[in-house]
Structure 1
Amino acid sequence: MIKTEDLRKDFAVRVKSGRFRREKRTVEAVAGVSLNIGAGEMVGYIGPNGAGKSTTLKMLTGVLSPSGGQVEVCGLRPVPQRTKLALRIGVVFGQRSQLWWDLPLGESFALLRHIYRVPAAEHRERLRRCRELLDLDGFMDTPVRQLSLGQRMRGELTAALLHGPRVLFLDEPTIGLDVVSKQAVRSFLAELGGTGDVTLVLTTHDLADIERLCERLVVIDHGRVVHDGTIEALHARYGSRRSLVADLSSPLPEGFELPGATLIGVEADRHRVTFALDGVTAGAAVADLVAAVPIRDLSVVEPDIEDVVARLYVSGAP
């Protein structure tokens, strides 16, 4: 559905050189990105500020022309065939709107039906589904400018899907949303992706979105892909570990060691211990611990993806 090969984008900028002069320099925003994304995949595309995420999305959607390399989306070249491509993709930018600010939300949807020339029956069924899943009925008659940020984002998602796109690009779709609105958007996207009808590419700084929605994670840094695989593979590659946290009925025996785990924390007043699980399953670690000392409560804490990605950026992985 999406294919890029050595995709590049350079920008010419002018920087100060001396007291009254400026010289022209070339900045490499995207430096050879190669991707293959199949139909129905949900892919997280992340990186630090300035890594090239938004620039890549703009080339995939036909907003920017590449400086080099090849790119196809839905079998089309985004810039030369931008009009055809617009009928096959949906785009949501968290800080930009495709709705009409002075029109009620429902009238914006009606206008989009005519712009995309969607048959009335198809439009009605897609809108019905979005109204139900995103709970739009309470503000369909409200002018867009009077909507809260969470309401507007639900409207933006609906607007991007009413023409039945095959690919949906989401750039920071939950930025600035409250907890309830984030949950509504994530639940909707999870259900949408679960159908397999739409290929979803998500860029965000909120890694909870990635963990909830995407099985595949592409990490870009300084314009280059530094990881392309599952979140589990990212954890394995950069040494993140699950933790076993246990509240004990009595202190650990003197010199106690848990095979395949490392003791990383002790709270003596509560008899709480934390082990990093290095080469052992949680079940085996629990069995060994229970055999040594009575346990009141325990939990297995999954590794924090934010810490893993931060280590990846710092490491400057190739």
Structure 2
Amino acid sequence: MTAQISTLGQLLSAAGTQWRAYDIGRRITKIDKKQFAQIEGTLIPYPYPLAGHALIAIQFWDNNATLDPYVWFLKLPLDEQSKLVAASRDHFANMVLEALGTEITGEQAQGKLDNNPYVFTPNANKLAAFNALLKREINRPASQYYEYAELYFAGKLPENAWQNVAVQGLADFAFRLEHSHNAKNLHSVWSSLPIQVKQPLSAMLEHVPTGTHLSKLFYNDCISALRNKQLDILICNLRALSATKAQGLLLQATDLILADELANEADILLTLTGRCWEAFNEQSRLFILLDKAAHNTQVDGLFTSIFADLVAIPSLRPHVLSILRAENRSETLSRAIGRLFS
């Protein structure tokens, strides 16, 4: 990279753009510019690692922009301490400079990075959620699918209309709960939604910090699903609850789930690990999760993958490593930990 440009932030600024960065690997989360600069300078680890990478969306636009912003979806490798591998970041930025110079917006930029090894395409749910968030944040209209979804949740369409509700419409609805009567309408119909709607909608709600009223509904439905042994319904409600502003409800739900036999299910353990990781800053809760994973025989390597996922998260790493020294482990957990180093 040039002497003047040594980070992505500098590249974006040198190109005369306004920009924002988001984590798009776990929960879609805005990364402020000061934190992003510290990440780029390897002063701090990446806060939301996923499978050894930082999955980042960078939204940028020039000051005269009349169109929607441009977006780079980047998959950048992290080291064993979850810090950005600067050489890979430099490689990407050099490829941008060689392909585009600092003219990174406009028609001439289209398609120039299609084969870049650090550019990736998020799955359909993440793309829909990010698009919905982006349009809300820049005060642009929602997609053409939003109005139909809004009518569906308002009960103004036939019962079988769910078959025509688009994923993008669900995303737009989830990110606009504060509009009109959307939150109230969702509260009214959530428990009776067909699973074909509830599952993709919960995949959007896991990125939305819901308030106490809706969060209590998701929490109560978690308890009901536990009581009735409804695995799919439990997972939907747990995902919908995972980004709640009412973190106490999420912690209570997590404890009740871990105490239930459904916590022996691999899908539950993976949902807790992937969506509710903040709950495991409490070491006793983390201990129970890892013990359940060690005892699971449904999925080969489940304990190893869950351990690797959690130990990479900077806020959890000290708690996970301390369990390696714990003396009150079950024999099964001790054997599972031993296999990590064999």
Q: Same fold (TM over 0.5)?
A: no
More strand by share: 1
Compute the TM-score of the two structures, normalised by the length of structure 1.
Answer: 0.30
Structure of higher RCO (CA pairs closer than 8 Å, 6+ residues apart): 1
More helix by share: 2
Compute the TM-score of the two structures, normalised by the length of structure 2.
Answer: 0.29
